[in-house]
Amino acid sequence: MAASTSSTSGSSSGSSSGSSSGYGSASSGAAKVPASFETHPSRYRHWKLNVDGAIARLDMAVREDEPLVPGYPLKLNSYDLGVDIELCDAVQRLRFAHPQVRVVILGSGRDRVFCAGANIHMLAASTHGFKVNFCKYTNETRLAIEDASQKSGQKYLAAVSGPCAGGGYELAMACDEILLIDDGSSTVALPEVPLLGVLPGTGGLTRLLDKRQVRRDRADIFSTLAEGIRGKRAVDWRLVDEIAPRSRFPQAVQARAQKLLSKTGAGPTTNGIELEPLSPQVRDDSIRYRHVELKIERARRMATLTVRAPDAGYAAPDSVEALHAQAAAGQSWALRAFRELDDAILRLRFHEPTVGLIVLRTEGDPAAVVRADAALWALQKDWLAREILLLMARTLRRLDQTSKTLFAVAEPGTCFAGSLLEILLSADRSYVLDDAGAPTQFATSPLNGGALPLLDGRSRLDVRFYGASEKVQAVLEHRAPFDAQTADALGLVTVLADEIDFADTLRLALEERLSLSPDALTGMEQNLRAAACGEGMEQRIFGRLSAWQNWIFIRPNATGERGALSSYGKPERPVFDWTRT
């Protein structure tokens, strides 16, 4: 019998945020982004998750009258941020709570429709910053689906039982396979260019070519064909993998799922773990978790994000059984700390649009971080250890893709070691105090050698030293804690200053950075963070497509008074400035 984890009660997003940022237009006054990015299957409003052995069913059944913010109906299974927060949670919980699942059928709980994509009226009413962060978040969720397929062996099958457009088709393309109903009317479509004057914002064009391997000329036609493509033509053009008539669509879905299952092999036999609520202490200018603290200085347009090492009494797990027991009890430092860091990053993105600079700090014993990292690395063949490592990597990539300046500050008492050294390596600059009386310490662990990769698969040390293996190896050999001068000699420090100059040097650097154009800094930082990049699909999505979307969203052809987004649903046609720039 299937074990259902769906529910029809509760809230996915918590109470309204205490910050001043809304995601609607100025006229929407009280509109706020969610206070929390956490939820639970018992509180899902728009998704139904059902697990039956090795196969799970995740159905999108968006409640039309329950948008995250009042003012737009979620018709035709269109989605807003609240819908995607639930999807993100479901994808993550399937990996941790249901590791035995090998195939996830992603379907629709609404009759004769799959998904109409992101809600257009929500986007039209949103601020520019929200639109960009919304696209970024939904990109990361779809990439998490692909990460689950590639790294965790959980394959996704899109069962497209009705019209599938825009972000809905992008969601389908994030799956390993697409089965489309052949009923004479259901199509797949990317109508953003002809209908809205924007681009498919969650990797549509990139997946069309890189993943689906659709011919470029056909992709050109498809991306300018508002009505989409159906039936056999969709198969011939590689837009879907198979079609099936309505009369036998459910049977075709099950057959396709079983075929996928036969290719994956058996999953773990041990039970999964429940992810405990983070329950941070939230105040107007700070958020405090167990291992992470966020302090916000809105008047200065900056924040300080601190991650703490394991407590003195923390015992790194020395066996698979110990790891599972710790995680089940909510005592795994790595799992808890990086979930907290992930939540803090999202709050900074959505709640604090004027915060332009994040000071990254760490606290604690470097040796404790090295021990915790080494224990995870030694147990990496276990599914839970692997999932924790993959979560840490996704969180660090979320930090990499955050459009705010990142300055790491290292002083006595900090511990940029191992997995926390990756935070310094993610930063745009690092400022380090060299105090002989109270040394600032660093250390490496097995995780710095590539276990927590960037979007294109390289380690942050490889990127820092442009692949110079001898320099990377010189850093990795320093497993024991080392001081600031050694870190500087190894190339890990941007600015090294003594106790006389450090405070003034840092203050001036912060003031200078905060005086520069935030738009120019975003473009500059994103380019520099992808140094010498051998572009992979994920990097192209964020570095290329998102940059264009960022620009297009503020052009009058999209969001001007008579732009395509603003005119959507109105009797008049949009008016364009035909100048090519």
- Report pLDDT digits (tens) over 380-407: 999 999 999 999 999 999 999 999 999 9
Residue 300 has pLDDT above 60, yes or no: yes
Buried b (16+ CB within 10 A) or exposed e, 260-286: bbeebeebbeeebbebeebebebeeee
State the pLDDT at residue 113.
97
Please check whether residue 301 is in contact with residue 514, taking contact to mean a CB–CB distance below 8 angstroms.
Answer: yes
* Residue 408, H or E segment: strand 405-410
Mean pLDDT of 112-132: 93
State the pLDDT at residue 1.
35
DSSP lists the bridge partners of residue 295 as 286, 304
Q: Identify the weakest region by mean pLDDT among 426-440, 529-543, 564-578.
A: 529-543
Mean pLDDT of 99-115: 97
Please check whether residue 224 is in contact with residue 141, taking contact to mean a CB–CB distance below 8 angstroms.
Answer: no
Q: What does the pLDDT look like over 185-214, one tens digit per residue? A: 999 999 999 999 988 988 899 999 999 999
Q: Which two tokens stand for residue 42?
A: 């018992």
For the chain, the farthest-separated pair of C-alpha atoms sits apart, in whole angstroms, at: 78
> pLDDT-based confidence at 28, cuts 50/70/90?
very low
What whole-number distance in Å separates Cα of residue 224 and Cα of residue 236? 18
Closest CA to 403 of 124, 130, 26: 130
Q: Which two tokens stand for residue 156?
A: 């996704």
Other C-beta atoms lying within 10 Å of the C-beta of residue 153: 19
**For residues 580 and 42, which has the higher predicted lDDT (pLDDT)?**
42
Q: What does the pLDDT look like over 44-81, one tens digit per residue? A: 999 999 999 999 999 999 999 999 988 899 999 999 99
CB under 8 Å to 155, separation ≥6 — which residues?
A: 102, 103, 104, 149, 176, 177, 260, 261, 263, 264
State the pLDDT at residue 25.
35
Q: 562 vs 305, 383, 489, 553, CA distance in Å? A: 41, 53, 57, 14
> pLDDT-based confidence at 233, cuts 50/70/90?
very high
What whole-number distance in Å separates Cα of residue 201 and Cα of residue 210? 16
Q: What percent of the chain has pLDDT over 90?
A: 77
Closest CA to 12 of 56, 47, 61: 47
Under CATH, which architecture does the 281-528 domain have? Alpha-Beta Complex (3.90)
Residue 3 has pLDDT above 80, yes or no: no
CB under 8 Å to 301, separation ≥6 — which residues?
A: 354, 355, 356, 357, 514
What whole-number distance in Å separates Cα of residue 487 and Cα of residue 65? 56
Closest CA to 187 of 160, 171, 163: 163
3-state secondary structure 40-91: CHHHCCCEEEEEECCEEEEEECCCCCCCCCCCCCCHHHCECHHHHHHHHHHH
State the pLDDT at residue 14.
37
**For residues 446 and 456, which has the higher predicted lDDT (pLDDT)?**
446
State the pLDDT at residue 137.
95
State the pLDDT at residue 545.
64
Q: What does the pLDDT look like over 335-371, one tens digit per residue? A: 999 999 999 999 999 999 999 999 999 999 999 999 9
Mean pLDDT of 451-464: 94
Alpha helices in 315-435 (DSSP H): 320-328, 333-351, 366-378, 383-400, 421-426
**For residues 179, 185, 188 and 191, what is the CA-based torsion angle, rounded to 10 degrees?**
-170
Q: Which two tokens stand for residue 560?
A: 């001007």
Q: Are domains 3-16+34-261 and 281-528 of this chain identical in fold? A: yes
> pLDDT-based confidence at 532, cuts 50/70/90?
low
What whole-number distance in Å separates Cα of residue 496 and Cα of residue 466? 22
State the pLDDT at residue 312.
86
Dihedrals φ, ψ of 416, to 5°? -75, 85
CB under 8 Å to 532, separation ≥6 — which residues?
A: 463, 466, 467
Chain-wide mean pLDDT for the chain? 91
Closest CA to 456 of 411, 403, 409, 397: 397
Mean pLDDT of 138-166: 97
List the 187-189 sheet strands across, edge first.
Answer: 164-165, 187-189, 229-230
What whole-number distance in Å separates Cα of residue 94 and Cα of residue 51? 9
Mean pLDDT of 282-307: 97
Which one-letter DSSP state was computed for residue 496?
Answer: E
Please check whether residue 502 is in contact with residue 433, taking contact to mean a CB–CB distance below 8 angstroms.
Answer: yes
Burial of 552 (0-12, 13-18, 19+ CB in 10 A): middle
CB under 8 Å to 284, separation ≥6 — which residues?
A: 18
What whole-number distance in Å separates Cα of residue 200 and Cα of residue 117? 10
Mean pLDDT of 19-45: 63
Q: Please spell the DSSP secondary structure of 424-490, one letter per residue.
A: HHHSSEEEEEE-TTS--EEE--GGGGTTS--TTS--HHHHHTTT-HHHHHHHHT--S-B-HHHHHHH
Q: Where are the domains of the chain?
A: 3-16+34-261, 281-528
What whole-number distance in Å separates Cα of residue 151 and Cα of residue 465? 27
Which one-letter DSSP state was computed for residue 542?
Answer: I
State the pLDDT at residue 30.
31
Residue 21 has pLDDT above 90, yes or no: no
Q: What does the pLDDT look like over 365-378, one tens digit per residue? A: 999 999 999 999 99
Under CATH, which architecture does the 3-16+34-261 domain have? Alpha-Beta Complex (3.90)
Mean pLDDT of 560-570: 89
> pLDDT-based confidence at 19, cuts 50/70/90?
very low
DSSP lists the bridge partners of residue 406 as 358
Q: What percent of the chain has pLDDT over 70?
A: 92
Closest CA to 7 of 39, 51, 43, 38: 43
Dihedrals φ, ψ of 86, to 5°? -65, -40
* Residue 159, H or E segment: strand 155-160
Residue 96 has pLDDT above 80, yes or no: yes
Residue whose entry in the numeric block shows the structure tokens 């994956």: 264
